[in-house]
Structure 1
């Protein structure tokens, strides 16, 4: 990938000042996650937003020009980076259009609705010599960073059991595309993409997957519960999500031959963003001490492990560094493609009621 950003295509010169960013979509993903994080990165400038929510844009991002449709932003020669925070069904088509227009592209997770679409986007990004990255922000959850340290340090020895939950209490059906029977809808593609990306970040691709995916709420039209088993030989990764869980158990459980690590509670960065707080706040990403994880050692020892500071802002720092400095992207498109491969395998496993091998 070229180390310089471009205005209108691969042959143009680098821009003066921060990279100009066009954000497509101003729903939950666009308004709560992407816009605030872009605004906090000094080497990025939120220049335009495509959404009909013009009044919300005016209040939250007065520096950005509001457009009625994504096409105007994609065609704008002054836009360097296009961020796609629209419904999952539109990710691939919008990313393709932006890449063809010579833009660097950030896609909210999941990257697409199929491996085939992901492969086409990766090939096009290489051909256009443009950055293509995916917003797998939960790699920067404080609890995930902490458990990764526990594993990497050898404190758990050889890991035999990894279990991650994303349980919520939402018995009522919310209106919106995520609850409609469309490609990429449902909790598997929503929360499952997060949990699968974390597991692949830690352990790589599994040998096989066995998945149970279902709809528990009476009025539900899409899956709202899943239980995935990723087979890594002697080790198993259990990934689970439920939508009617009033009192969740541990979020993470990791067991090895030298000890176990247990952590409860959810990383607080999403809640902070929803409340209007920003990564520039002095206490950003800090966990409550009563929710710190506990490390149980095989010799009987036990200690509290302080949660690392969560850092969602690292993603857009990485985007700017990848484009302007030639550094590795914060999330490679290839790693996001592997998430799609596991999602497809899990969906197939659930429908066919069998274990599915990964290539």
Structure 2
């Protein structure tokens, strides 16, 4: 099968460090690069991309089959709309947009123009979270009660500036909470009903004093007769002990260490109904971004589904935006309002 030509919309850190090494092994040739800031282009010289431009229309008018959009968050929706209008398949970084209306407009545009749209949440398709969902589905912990995610990390120096700047799309919620929702939603398998959240500024280096630590509580619908709860902690100023996840059931639990990072192979432990504990192999090894690209390629070729569909991306965004609204309005937000 010949390679597909893909254009990069956004000369971003994630595109350079995470995605570039994975394009060729998964059947993509990077043919074009767009960014609004020409000063970024010299940093990409080693990749020898044939077309480098600050003209999005020129890139979308070139001979590319798809785009990977990893620009700043507020640019995701308008650039995705332009790509759909140009007939290009879209792999869109999270968050899909800054509002549900804009995100739904992107989904509608992709449908109208007959292009494939996937969201680049890397965690749900990885072997660790696939293993956790399998154990729950097999009834290893009985009826599912709750889950708790610790996604409090130390944000690397080189990416601190814009993530916490007081600009549209900045902050820990649209960077991390949306990721956690992408994991929790398929785990529970029912609709999130309401979200409560609190957020503060803690990191001493966060000169903008924007929110860098958030805790949320999410209620999920009772698919088996039992209402369910999830709890998350996302932060940018916590260096230890690493990310983790617990899943609690009527008869046992699942504990995951290094659960929420793409570069560490997490471990899964099953706490059995008899009180014993068993380590569960996950088959971890393949880079999570490689998994996403392989599945995106299959999706484009009508041979599979993406790691995260547009509808799943919409639901993760709805949870994150509900958390933002909960903090801003000091109340629990029903998802039906989103």
Report TM bin, short chain.
Answer: 0.7 to 0.9
* Counterparts in 2 of 1:267 and 1:209: CA distance versus 1, 3 Å: closer
Whether 1:222 and 2:206 are equivalent positions in the alignment is no
How far did 1:125 drift? 1.0
The reply to whether residue 40 of structure 1 matches residue 33 of structure 2 is no
Q: 1:267 to 1:244 in 2, by over 3 A?
A: closer
**Cα deviations by residue, 1:24-81 (Å, 9 ceiling, x for unpaired):** 1222121122222222212x2111112433333221x2254322343321121x1110
Please, which of 277, 282, 286 is the counterpart of residue 302 of structure 1?
A: 277
**Structure 1 pair 250/261, CA: closer, same or farther in 2 (3 Å)?**
farther
Matched, 1:315 2:287: no
Aligned match for 2:106, one of 121, 132, 149: 121
**2:174 aligned counterpart, secondary structure:** helix
**Retained in 1: the 8 A contact 2:6–2:65?**
yes
2:92 is paired with a residue of what secondary structure?
strand
> What pairs with 1:160-309 in structure 2 (closer than 5 Å)?
160-170=145-155, 175-203=160-188, 204-218=190-204, 219-232=207-220, 233=222, 234-248=227-241, 251-266=244-259, 269-270=262-263, 287=265, 292-309=267-284
The aligned residue for residue 9 of structure 1 is: none
**Where does structure 2 lack aligned partners over 5 or more consecutive residues?**
none
User: What per-residue deviation string (whole Å, max 9, x for no partner) do you get for residues 210-256 of structure 1?
Assistant: 11122223424422111111112532111111233232266011111
- Describe the SS at the equivalent of 1:308: coil
For the structure 1 residues 325 and 166, does the alpha-carbon distance in structure 2 shift closer, same or farther, using more than 3 Å as the test?
same
Q: Does 1:332 align with 2:309?
A: yes
- TM-score normalized with structure 1 length: 0.83
Secondary structure at 2:168 match in 1: coil
Q: What does residue 3 of structure 1 align with?
A: none
The reply to whether residue 71 of structure 1 matches residue 65 of structure 2 is: no
| 2:334 is equivalent to residue 357 of structure 1 | yes
How far is 1:208 from its partner?
1.1
1:95 corresponds, among 57, 61, 80, to: 80
Give the C-alpha shift of residue 294 in structure 1: 2.1
Q: 1:280 is matched with which residue?
A: none
Is 2:84 the counterpart of 1:107?
Answer: no
Report if aligned partners of 2:151, 2:260 keep a CA contact under 8 Å in 1. no
Are residue 81 (structure 1) and residue 56 (structure 2) matched?
A: no
Aligned alpha-carbon RMSD (Å): 2.3
Unaligned 5+ segments in structure 1 are 1-15, 272-286
> Given the superposition, is the C-alpha separation of residues 302 and 139 from structure 1 closer, same or farther in structure 2, using an over 3 Å criterion?
same
Give a deviation string over 1:322-356, Cα, whole Å, max 9, x none.
22235333321111111121122111111121111
Number of corresponding residues: 323
Offset, 1:196: 0.6
What CA distance in whole angstroms lies between the structure 2 residues aligned with 1:240 and 1:67?
Answer: 39
